[in-house]
Amino acid sequence: MRQKVSVFPSSGQAEIQTKDPADPSSGSESIELLKVLQSRTFARSPRLSRILDYVCRKYFAGQTDQLKEYTIAVELFGRSEGFQPRDDSSIRVDMNRLRKQLRKYYRAEGKQDPLVISIPSGQYAPVFSRREPKPTTGDLPLAADLTSSKPLHPRRWWIVGVLGVGLLAAVGGLFFLGWSGRGPVGTVAIPAPSLPGNAVRVAQSPPPGPEVRILSGVSRDRSIDPFGNVWLGDRYFTGGSSVKSPAGLPLIFRYGITAEGSYAREGDFTYHIPLQPGVYELRLYFMEWMYGSGDGAGGENYRIFDVFINGNLLLSRFDIVTDAGGVRVPDVKVFTDISPASDGLLHMKFVSRQSKAILSGIEILPGLPGKIRPVRVACRSTPYTGPDGAVWSADRFFRGGRLAERHAPISGTPDTALYQSERYGHFSYTIPVTNHGLYTVVLGFAETYFGAGNPGEGSKSERLFNVLCNGQILLKDFSIVQASGGANRALIRAFEHIEPSPQGKMVLDFVPVRDYACINTIQVVSE
């Protein structure tokens, strides 16, 4: 299936949110909100943008019963608790202006949009109405011809970002897999407004609950990884033996596993892990350190094994080297919709077929039905919590490139710190997801090297680079300055309907054309 990609530039806030987990909102609703907030029409009306953003947040969170004049005035605009709507009509006036502004947008910039946002008179909750897409005309600002023009299908999906309160425990590491074979990608450019914020957001985070992390083969009671997560020593197992990798091998800490991730459990073994009832996301960590030379020679077909969950086959004839794309390359497999058996235990069985089965770590997190937990990465050395409570993990999933920190003020976002650190060079990120479904990838940029007042201000050079996902071009000869309108301005690009690789990976390659490629933030969310 050919992917469809939409590109949304922003020097301001891009908010994509979800409804209650039991009834996830259509991803197209979230994307429509993003497009409206970033339109020229709403860029000139920041107060109306704030109101639209607020009421849609409540809608996505299933809290439309809270949408009243009083709550809008107090929660959104900080009015005192003594606010009396009967004595102050400002919110009613603003809502009437917002309704007119939405109609204005859909008469011009949004006349090709497949969805229409409206707020009925006398109400404060938004309504999303689908309409048949019309042929593209010259009135829509096009950055390139679309290569896939099928209308959005009315699927229901979630996109998660900054307003989520739950901690994202994303996994990652070094990968070498690529995937090609699909055609070039067209883009639709939406002019960038001046709005606060810049990240893809949600009102509903993954559900809270117990998080289980186990370092297989490790005898120490517990460890804390570089991202602040607590990992327990090996437990709940029967069979197998603890083994340690040879000295000097790459460790798995970029996944979230500590230096003790150089241990593993090997052989035929089972785990019986107690869990509360519910839906979980399971991540299994592997690395092949024994077979294959690591100097270019392959290690395929030396170690083959099966993995069962509660008696059901989860991985058949699994070969770590084939899945990871190399020897001594950390690998992770992600599985959704995992639940304990009727006895309250999650039963995992590892059965050797050729040589011995092996496992480096187990991570079990409260899950979202049918979808992965959102991945949100800031290219910086430490985790980051935004002014609105959004949690970003420190840099992970990468191979190559270098981190650089700068201190220039960034316009168009309250999350300045997200754009004061970047990964630059010729590098890649490989983010583990499931091997099915579609995903939205959101990339955040800011040019903080070239431009007035920046370290490279005297240079006549301009940064150009390409971005590919699973071998398909997303951005070609990309200039952050040209796309954002200047240096030190936050910018996002959102790409919809991305297919994962057959191995369940999202491989993002950043390839320099002139000077170095760079990136500030990465988000991957299920559709």
Tell me the pLDDT tens digit for each residue of 397-416: 999 999 999 888 999 888 88
The yes-or-no verdict on residue 453 having pLDDT over 80 is no
Over range 367-382, report the average pLDDT.
93
Q: pLDDT band for 250, please (50, 70, 90 cuts).
A: low
**Start-to-end Cα distance in the chain:** 15
pLDDT for 163: 30
Give the residue carrying structure tokens 């954002």. 484
Structure tokens at 161: 């970002």
Q: pLDDT band for 320, please (50, 70, 90 cuts).
A: very high
Q: Which of 174-188, 212-226, 491-505 shows the highest mean pLDDT?
A: 491-505
Over range 3-29, report the average pLDDT.
39
Q: pLDDT band for 252, please (50, 70, 90 cuts).
A: low
Reported as a single tens digit per residue, the pLDDT across 515-525 is 999 999 999 99
In sign, the C-alpha dihedral spanning 307, 313, 315, 317 is positive
- Closest Cα to residue 422, out of 403, 447, 400? 403
Note the pTM of the prediction, 2 decimals.
Answer: 0.62
Structure tokens at 89: 């009509």
Domains of the chain (ranges, CATH numbers)? 1-17+156-205+369-527 (2.60.120.430), 28-132 (no CATH), 212-366 (2.60.120.430)
**Are residues 125 and 58 in contact, defined by beta-carbon separation less than 8 angstroms?**
yes
Q: In what order do the strands lie in the sheet with 464-469?
A: 398-399, 427-432, 505-514, 464-469, 472-478
Q: pLDDT band for 296, please (50, 70, 90 cuts).
A: low
pLDDT for 45: 81
Go through the chain and tell me how many residues it has: 527
Q: How far is CA 72 from the centre of its chain?
A: 29
pLDDT for 203: 32
Q: What's phi and psi for 251, nearest 5 deg?
A: -90, 180
pLDDT for 254: 52
Reported as a single tens digit per residue, the pLDDT across 155-212 is 333 333 333 323 233 333 323 222 223 333 333 333 333 333 344 443 334 444 578 9
